[in-house]
Every structure is written in structure tokens, then in C-alpha cells.
Amino acid sequence: MAVLEIFKYPAPVLKRPAKPVDQISPELLQLIDDMIETMYAAPGVGLAAPQVGRSCRVIVFDANRDESERSPMALINPEIIFAEGEFCMEEGCLSAPELNVEIKRKGQVKVKALTREGKEVIIEAKEFPAVLLQHEIDHLDGKLIIDYLSGLKRSLYKRKLKRKEEKEKN
């Protein structure tokens, strides 16, 4: 297993919709293992393939916040098939450092996907796990938390990144 580079905003791969997976190959399974290792090393609770530069519809996540009881999951071609209610929480993102955004999402979701073994599953989630799934599926659709900001806040964040980049060059 390997820790992969996490692409940061404004990397183009983060804005493109990811391609569906048509075959579960040894390479895909290796990518999933590497993504899980990368997620924990970051540290984070979720990671989508576009965040590591791969345009495929794969996410990994671990909604268990207790590090001693890790239970990572991988979903291939996940899609939200049911969503209701409302849940609002502050979200961060490994691809948008130093940015936290309060986002109103659905409070309950059902997600249909394939497991790494190729079995179809339906996952029901509420509150934090539901937000986590919606956040990672957003990545597969080319959407980032920065897209939930107002125009002014987005401009301020972009300016902050530019200043940080210029400072690192000097």
C-alpha cells in the first residue's frame, strides 16, 4: 500500500465528473487500498478517487470517529437513490485546506453502490454518515465545498490561497 498525493483546489481533476467503473480489476483494488491508507494518513474520514488524481467513481470512508475502531468502507459507482430531511454541519475537505464551510445537506440518504467484491449494496445513513457520503459523492460529480460558498467568500478563499502560494515561492 502507498500514501498517494492529495490534489488540492484548483486542480482540474477535482472539477471534472469522474467516469463510472466498468470492471473491478486488481489495479482498482490496489487504488482502493492506497486510498484508505491515504485517507488515514491525511488524516481524514473520507476520500474520493478524483482527490488522488484518478477519474473513476470510487470513494472510501470511515464514519467511525474512534481511531481505535477503524472500519473503512469502499464504494464503487455510488449513487444516492433516496434523500430526505435536512442536516447542517461544518465541513472541511482534504482538497481545500484551511476551509470550513457550513453546508445544509439531506439528513438521511440511501446510497446504492458496488463493494470491492462486486456485490451491490444499499447503505442507509443519517446525519454525519449521510453528510460524509454526500460530500464524497459530490467529489465524483466535480463539486467541492468551495462551490457552496457565496461569490465573495469564494473570492476571499482564492485570494488567501494565492497569497499562501506566493509566500511559499519566496
Phi/psi at 67 (5° precision): -60, -25
User: Does the residue 7 lie in any domain?
Assistant: no
Structure confidence at residue 34 (pLDDT): 98
User: Does the residue 139 lie in any domain?
Assistant: yes
Q: In whole angstroms, what separates CA 73 from the centre of its chain? A: 13
In this structure, what DSSP letter does residue 56 have? B
Q: For residue 20, say if its preceding peptide bond is cis, omega within 30 degrees of 0.
A: no
User: Does the residue 135 lie in any domain?
Assistant: yes
pLDDT digit string (tens) for the chain, length 170 residues? 799 999 999 999 999 999 999 999 999 999 999 999 999 999 999 999 999 999 999 999 998 877 778 899 999 999 999 999 999 999 999 999 889 999 999 999 999 999 999 999 999 999 999 999 999 999 999 999 999 999 999 999 989 888 888 888 77
Structure confidence at residue 14 (pLDDT): 97
Catalytic residue ranges = 136
Beginning with the edge strand found earlier in the chain, give each strand of the sheet holding 120-126 in spatial order. 46-48, 58-61, 73-84, 108-114, 120-126
Rounded to two decimals, the pTM is: 0.93
User: Does the residue 23 lie in any domain?
Assistant: yes
The CATH number of the domain holding residue 129 is 3.90.45.10
Domain that holds residue 56: 12-169
- Number of compact structural domains in the chain: 1
Q: Are 45 and 61 in contact (CB under 8 A)?
A: yes
User: Does the residue 6 lie in any domain?
Assistant: no
